[in-house]
Amino acid sequence: MVEGPIDSLFLPNAVAVSGASFDTPTIRSLLTNATIVMDNEPRNKDIVRQLGKYIDAGFSVCMFPDYIEQKDINEMVLHSGLTIDQIVEVINTNTYSGMEAKLRFSDWKKV
């Protein structure tokens, strides 16, 4: 699950929530078998707060590594030269849940 509708077009089997809030009954029911991929904005207080909330709720979340400078999947495709397969691999290898997510989150957030 991603924030932006355009981001969802680049990924196989993706759904966009059109915003940073994944907190509706329908979306929560889908999250039991999904990964939350928020925009790559570790200095944005709202993104950090929301992501921390989803980690605490036990959801799987993606936190992009430091070498990804673009703020979202759309920009990654347009400006980084990464292919869709490479972006999917980055998401898959940087998805965390539970205590591992909490540890990674403390390093990822820059607020």
Instruction: List % helix, strand, coil for the chain (3-state, nearest 5).
Output: 50, 10, 40
d(CA 76, CA 68): 8
Can you tell me the distance from the alpha carbon of 40 to that of 57, in angstroms, rounded to the nearest whole number? Answer: 20
Pairing type for strands 35-37 and 60-62 reads parallel
Question: Is the predicted pLDDT of residue 21 greater than 80, yes or no?
Answer: no
Average pLDDT over the chain reads: 88
Q: Which carries the bigger pLDDT value, residue 53 or residue 31?
A: 53
| Mean predicted confidence (pLDDT) in 64-78 | 93
User: Domain range holding 35?
Assistant: 5-108
Domain tally for the chain? Answer: 1
> Using alpha carbons only, what angle is made at residue 56 by residues 50 and 66, rounded to the nearest 5 degrees?
60
Asked whether the beta carbons of 17 and 7 are under 8 A apart, the reply is: no
